[in-house]
Amino acid sequence: MTVEPALIWMSILGPGCLAVLALFYVAHRHLDAIEALLANSKYIGDLRTTFSGAGLIGKVLRTCVIGGVLMVPGPYARRGLIDLSEVKRFPAGMKRVIVGILLVLIVCFFMMLAFRAWTYVSPK
């Protein structure tokens, strides 16, 4: 039985593209509200001032960093970069959306790496 590589590639790339589109939407529409919820966090404030002039790409970058902070707040809190009480009060639905998008992107990235390794070592 042969497996069509294009079908595997599209099954990986499809969800990744949808996640990127969702990330662009969240960054464009909701980033100001998200940053307002984390107003006392020094790290988020510094990112906002640094990347505020970078347009949509800067918004996407800031959204990804906020997603990382929401996924693993411990190291940021230990260094005093974020207010842990703000992260705990962050709305669960919005947190699920941001973290979910990032997790889908991370999983798709590693699936692409694994698929590339598989195509490299598989017999032709």
Per-residue CA distances from 85 to 5, 25, 66, 75, 124 (Å)? 47, 27, 15, 14, 55
CA angle 90, 26, 109 (to 5 degrees): 100
pLDDT score of 56 more than 90: yes
Model confidence band, residue 124 (pLDDT cutoffs 50, 70, 90): low
- Residue pair 16/123 in contact (Cβ under 8 Å)? The answer is no
- The mean per-residue pLDDT over the stretch 82-104 comes to 94
